[in-house]
Structure 1
């Protein structure tokens, strides 16, 4: 019995077809690994160009956060690619993939149903970081919440209002965003002029007072647009000043002080 077994083994080892099949299987496995390695390198390079080498028009993302997200995406891509390669290699050993895929599908379905909100928040957080609609330090309005962005995480975004309240918003609930920190703002002041005062003189005084505004946040000299409303006993004159992003309230307060003082002097001056 032992001699017969050795004879069969000797015949199998001399089977040319068997060695050809083994060689082809080994070649296919090597090609699978090579293709997986190339695909991972290409996708890693694409992720690096997307995150690191992006156009510097408006890059305000923190470098450490960029590196963290880049590593996360690289690892996710690598795991997916090598998992597919592993399944293909198992197929070369004639291992049935149907039970494995069915089990993975059931597990994925269970996780998907149990963590829908978490998955949605994380995916939304990734898109917020990649698309950069707002950054840390920006003054934004998200839904009914308004404040300065303190933190952008993969799952939540944190705002702090000017009165001190902290809002923690799940990223999956961020739909409408107004960013006040992207472009220059406009400070608008409406001044009411009594009917007993010459309107032309009042506008000249208002314009002169507005041009005396000295504020580092103002990027263009204030100007008088003219009368926006008028009645028999009063008129409303509008003054505007272009200022740096999210500084219009401060500039508006400074303008109000100057214009109020100028109008008081106008009312008390003779003629």
Structure 2
């Protein structure tokens, strides 16, 4: 004969409760899956994500167009332009814009899934604050370098002066700037130390030539000779942009008068242009017999008790 063991009543009730709980969970899941409100919410969330994506792409495209237009305008305005630098700056700004807008888009998409962004942003803020305190000078250099590039304060190939350094800019980085002096020294300056900059390459420079002529010479004749000498120079000197202008008598000295000539030339080429004009004017004045003043000493020699002879 078979013997049947009866299950305790309490254990049977627990099994039935567990089965009922699982059935309730499945029923809730089924109701959630088959609910029109659920799929409607997902549909609206999907639509919102698509809209966010499209708007982000459109904003990025518009900002990139603005950057290209701005760089093109700056390239036309600058006299000594470096096209590779403009392309580099444009790419840098485009990358920064893309990263920033894509990060914002990611936050908005996460918000559509009801993800709490507070702890994420708080953590990023704490990390950024720690980096800022730990590398203050580096952050200062990078920020200053970014604004140097963004504001187009100077470019590679420009001749600038900052502090006690003057020379040609060879490299502009987010961390430092490298300047080469005309004698060959290379100065590497952290961008955070660049407080004031004088740029000699943005506008045309003026060469100032002062010619000293003896008092015995006719000033009007000398000015006319100078004018005839400088007129053809604009076609002969590459860095000269206009015919040099003879201003006239500038000062009276102890041994002669000074006649001033000014000449507009390419940026930071006035030193070389001044030397060329000086050499040609000296040759022309010598050919016309115009004396350059020089110190003279007058002496008197006694001839005897009752008289005096003078001589030079």
Question: Shared fold by TM > 0.5?
Answer: yes
Within 2, Cα distance between the matches of 1:159 and 1:147? 6
Alignment of 1:1-271 (within 5 A): 1=19, 2-52=22-72, 56-58=76-78, 61-211=81-231, 214-231=236-253, 233-262=255-284, 265-267=289-291
1:14 Cα deviation after fit: 3.5
After superposition, give the CA deviation of every residue in 1:83-131 in whole Å (9 maximum; x if it has no partner): 2232233333332222111111111112223333333333333333344
Within 2, Cα distance between the matches of 1:147 and 1:66? 21
The total of aligned residue pairs comes to: 268
TM-score, with normalisation over the residues of structure 1? 0.80
Stretches of structure 1 that go unaligned for 5 or more consecutive residues are none
Q: 1:210 and 1:117, CA in 2 relative to 1: closer, same or farther beyond 3 A?
A: same
TM-score, with normalisation over the residues of structure 2? 0.71
Within 2, Cα distance between the matches of 1:124 and 1:217? 34
Q: Provide the secondary structure at the position in 2 that maps to 1:146.
A: strand
1:52 Cα deviation after fit: 4.8
Q: 1:241 and 1:81, CA in 2 relative to 1: closer, same or farther beyond 3 A?
A: closer
Of the two, which has the highest radius of gyration?
A: 2
1:233 Cα deviation after fit: 4.6
Within 2, Cα distance between the matches of 1:41 and 1:98? 29
Within 2, Cα distance between the matches of 1:48 and 1:89? 29
